[in-house]
Amino acid sequence: MQYLIILFGALIVAIGLVMLVRPGPFIDYLRRYSVTTSMQVLAVVVRIVLGLALILYANQSKFPLILEIIGWLSLAAAATIAVIPHAQFERLISWVLDRFQGYVWIGALAATGFGVFLIYAVF
């Protein structure tokens, strides 16, 4: 479980750094694939796997309560994304990208910091 969380943390750091250095292609990718059902399914599956990993490994981490809370929030987000119709999911992604495109760097820094935190918490 520890290695799975470290892998997720490393991927989140990598995505955060890509968003920081080259946000345009990342945003284009999200716009292009948000119309596919597979993007919504991927969003659900990733949140379920990460949420369960965090909950199951929380007691062995440096921040058990925080990781457990993040795990449960991840599962709640997965459930929410799973039940919304795909058209609404697509509109949500489009709305977020339209409203916050100029602030991608903030999300990139937050993602990078979150990924580093996950790695630190379980390493």
pLDDT band at 30 (very low <50, low <70, confident <90, very high): confident
Q: Give the model confidence (pLDDT) of 36-63 as tens digits.
A: 899 999 999 999 999 999 999 999 999 9
Q: Give the model confidence (pLDDT) of 67-108 as tens digits.
A: 999 999 999 999 999 999 999 999 999 899 889 888 999 999
pLDDT reading at 31 higher than 90: no
Output the pLDDT for position 18. Answer: 94
Looking at residue 107, its amino acid is G
* Cα 38 to Cα 35, 65, 113, distances in angstroms: 9, 32, 27
Q: Domain map of the chain by residue range?
A: 2-122
pLDDT reading at 29 higher than 90: no
Q: pTM to 2 decimals?
A: 0.90
Return d(Cα 36, Cα 72) in angstroms, integer.
26
